[in-house]
């Protein structure tokens, strides 16, 4: 149980810490097109991200999949750039965009999962079962994502209800800001 709690905290910190800006920006870009009424859909969306994240984390931890860290560190902000750009280009087609985000969450979750793989590979001993660490980590990650989602939705609720901000303006503003930050990260992390 102690191992489970350790990895649960690790998963939580992986999304909540100040070092997790890339994951937080990705979640913000993913859910920018949803409203607080879509909480159930958003939970499915972040769970799709966790599933993708879990698959490559497991494969990387088992040493089945190994991608050079410099490429992973570049690809992570690139996924955020693509998601933000998609929000901007498809802001008038929200229903299609929402459906596409499920696929983006799952596919890009695969890339994000590789970001923690090197650390996980070193932490999980060869003789230790992979199940408990991955379960703990992913539950911690999921709980952290839910907290981030609730915070974003609270801000959205305040902006839409109290300040009467237009939803399309919200999507454009948030996506443009996330695009700028993630593009800067991607350019700083160019692997060549």
Which among 60-69, 109-118, 130-139, 148-157 has the top mean pLDDT? 148-157
Tokens 């160019």, located at residue: 190
Tell me how far apart the alpha carbons of residues 140 and 31 are, in angstroms, rounded to a whole number.
19
| 127: CB partners within 8 A, 6+ apart | none
Confidence of residue 16 (pLDDT cuts 50, 70, 90): very high
Query: Considering its fold, how many domains does the chain have in total?
Result: 1
pLDDT at residue 120 tops 80: no
Q: Single out the residue of 183, 158, 191 nearest to residue 88, CA to CA.
A: 183
Q: Which residue range(s) make up the domain with 32?
A: 2-188
pLDDT at residue 164 tops 80: yes
Average pLDDT score, the chain: 91
pLDDT at residue 117 tops 80: no
Evaluate whether 26 touches 174 at the Cβ level (below 8 Å).
no
């Amino acid at each position: 149980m102690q191992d489970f709690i350790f990895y649960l905290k690790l998963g939580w910190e992986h999304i909540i810490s100040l070092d997790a800006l890339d994951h937080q920006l990705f979640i913000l870009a993913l859910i920018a097109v949803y409203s607080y009424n879509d909480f159930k859909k958003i939970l499915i969306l972040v769970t799709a991200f966790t599933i993708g994240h879990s698959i490559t984390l497991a494969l990387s931890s088992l040493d089945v999949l190994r991608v050079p860290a410099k490429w992973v560190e570049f690809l992570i902000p690139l996924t955020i750039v693509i998601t933000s750009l998609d929000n901007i280009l498809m802001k008038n087609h929200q229903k299609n965009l929402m459906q596409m985000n499920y696929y983006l969450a799952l596919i890009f979750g695969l890339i994000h999962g590789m970001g923690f793989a090197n650390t996980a590979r070193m932490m999980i001993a060869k003789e230790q079962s992979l199940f408990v660490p991955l379960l703990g980590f992913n539950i911690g990650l999921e709980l952290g994502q839910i907290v981030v989602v609730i915070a974003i939705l609270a801000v959205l609720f305040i902006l839409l209800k109290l300040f009467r901000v237009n939803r399309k303006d919200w999507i454009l503003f948030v996506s443009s800001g996330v695009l700028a930050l993630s593009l800067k990260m991607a350019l700083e992390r160019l692997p060549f």
